[in-house]
Amino acid sequence: MLLQPVILSGGSGTRLWPLSREKHPKQLLSLFNDETMLQATASRVRGFEGATTVSEKLIVVCNEEYRFITAEQLRNVGYDNCTLLLEPIGRNTAPAVTLAAISATQAQDDCVLLIMPADHNIADNQKFHDAVRLGLPQAIKGAMVTFGIRPDRPETGYGYIQVGAELDGSGTLALSSFVEKPSLEVALTYLADKQHVWNSGIFMMRASVWLRAIEHFNPAMAEACRNSIANAKTDCDFVRLSKEDFAHCPSDSIDYAVMEKLASAPSLNIPACVVPFDAGWSDVGAWDAVWQVSDKDADGNSLRGDVLVEDSRNCLLISDNRLLACLGLDDVIVIETPDAVLVTNKENTVNIKRIITRLKDENYAQTDNHRKVYRPWGHYDSVDSGKNFQVKRIVVKPGASLSMQMHHHRAEHWIVVSGIAKVTRGDDTMTLIANESTYIPLGVKHRLENPGEIDLEVIEVQSGSYLGEDDIVRFGDIYGRIEVGS
């Protein structure tokens, strides 16, 4: 039976601020190597050896806000043929799995879904493969399989699963119950009794089994998801779910919606089991967790970027843009980005939401997006800004094009730094090369294209009374964008 990888990448959040932002969440970050967490999750199913075939076409459920960078990151690791289900609004993990199951059964009669969050770190992929192979026979027979991490410390930040006896000599264990995040005292007992594992949030089951369960426990969710896909619009790899239908979908997690209720519905005849494994897993929920699973030097420091450190121990020091020099620090986290810097001790990382709340209350732009913003045609970096002006560095990929657009409140000056620019300005079309420039008056339709074979780099100087990204009126776009500012 086909094993269908499903990546849940719909989450947004700022727990790893200032690197993560609401429109650039942690799964899109490179925290441990050159791959982002999304890319590492996609690559994790490669090389799987077993009696079943792994689908080469991933199903990815992601937020519509960052669909283009998600698709681009997957293409960069060789996944050109994905089904990207775009959630117009967040509804938690149970609807996401339901959407994936419906999509999978449309492509084939039935398959085994391997549900993986996009924002987890697993150090040992081989042990992960071993765990999947161990649980696969149970999933094929109709069980709901979840994966539990053997605890190596009394962790209070994770939910737990209580396990029972081994099932038929299979190496899988009966699922006794789900347990909420415990106190330290209780977590110590869990560590000692060997009957509790961390809830990894990774699941495996046949698509038909999940749909049977969700239709029993939450028929409104099943109906909303079916309608959302039935009325969806397909655009290349993107499946744009019907927002009107999806808005009626209840919000719930996999655990609460189905897993915890299976024992109360024996008529469904859907057993639940756990595959315990130890593969260096972390959900990377806060900066102290990043330090915990990162490579460290002899003094316990984890360093990334242009960092100089002296007389410091057990620190996480990340420079994203500039030289970061640290002296005489212990148990401190410093995260530098072009537009924000975080300095805290490791014990306080769980309280970062207090900073985020203040930033939102005081309308700081740094909660929403980075200075560098990715678009389907490339990216732009807001280099400088002031009253009535803004300077951007724009990079357009070969063959790519910005939309035909106009602005009500700003004019633009374009200076080509490198590459070839094809510029449409009103009724005129021109070609510009390095050191040449043009001016786009306020209210004039215009388009920037890259007809060349290398990146086009342009410096854009905006001037006007309002410079927000929502001052865009589109008249044509090859990427299907109809909303402003996208």
- CA atoms of 126 and 133, how far apart (whole Å): 11
Is pLDDT above 50 for 485? no
Return the pLDDT at 107. Answer: 84
Q: Which helix (H) or strand (E) holds 193?
A: helix 184-193
pLDDT digits (tens, 9 = 90+) for 370-406: 888 888 899 999 999 999 999 999 999 999 999 999 9
To the nearest whole number, what is the mean pLDDT of the chain? Answer: 93
Is pLDDT above 60 for 484? no
pLDDT digits (tens, 9 = 90+) for 9-25: 987 778 899 999 988 89
Residue 135, CB-side half-sphere exposure with 13 Å CA sphere: 32
Name the residue ranges covered by the structural domains of the chain. Answer: 3-282, 287-361, 372-476
Return the pLDDT at 481. Answer: 66
Ramachandran angles phi, psi of 481, nearest 5°:
-80, 130
221-224 CB contacts, 8 Å cutoff, 24+ apart: 221/94, 221/95, 221/98, 221/249, 221/250, 221/252, 221/257, 222/98, 224/95, 224/248, 224/249, 224/250
Encoded tokens for 453? 């074979």
Q: Is 215 left (phi over 0), alpha (psi -120 to 50) or beta?
A: alpha
Q: What percent of the chain has pLDDT over 90?
A: 82
Lowest mean pLDDT among 291-295, 298-302, 454-458: 291-295
Residues 6+ apart with CB under 8 A from 483: none
Is pLDDT above 70 for 486? no
Going by C-alpha positions, the residue among 227, 257, 294, 323 that lies closest to residue 115 is 257
Q: Are 283 and 158 in contact (CB under 8 A)?
A: yes
Q: What percent of the chain has pLDDT over 70?
A: 99
CATH of span 3-282: 3.90.550.10
190-195 CB contacts, 8 Å cutoff, 24+ apart: 190/151, 190/154, 190/160, 191/151, 191/153, 191/154, 195/162, 195/163
Residues 6+ apart with CB under 8 A from 425: 438, 440, 444, 445, 446
Average pLDDT value for residue range 47-70: 89
Q: Judge whether 3-282 and 372-476 match in fold.
A: no
Return the pLDDT at 39. Answer: 97
Going by C-alpha positions, the residue among 143, 147, 110 that lies closest to residue 129 is 147
Is pLDDT above 50 for 81? yes
- CA atoms of 151 and 234, how far apart (whole Å): 43
Residue owning tokens 């985020």: 356
Return the pLDDT at 482. Answer: 59
What is the DSSP secondary-structure string of 291-360? HHHS---TTS-EEESSEEEES-BS-EEEESSS-EEEES-BSEEEEE-SS-EEEEEGGGGGGHHHHHHHHH
- Domain 372-476 of CATH type 2.40.50.140: no
- CA atoms of 47 and 474, how far apart (whole Å): 44
Average pLDDT value for residue range 54-81: 92
Residues 6+ apart with CB under 8 A from 213: 144, 258, 262, 268, 270
Going by C-alpha positions, the residue among 197, 137, 190, 147 that lies closest to residue 167 is 137
Prediction pTM value: 0.89
What is the DSSP secondary-structure string of 93-104? HHHHHHHHHHHH
Is pLDDT above 70 for 284? yes
Higher pLDDT, 274 or 11: 274
Average pLDDT value for residue range 209-228: 98
Residue 248, CB-side half-sphere exposure with 13 Å CA sphere: 14
pLDDT digits (tens, 9 = 90+) for 319-364: 999 999 999 999 999 999 999 999 999 999 989 999 999 999 999 9
CB atoms within 10 A of CB 177: 12
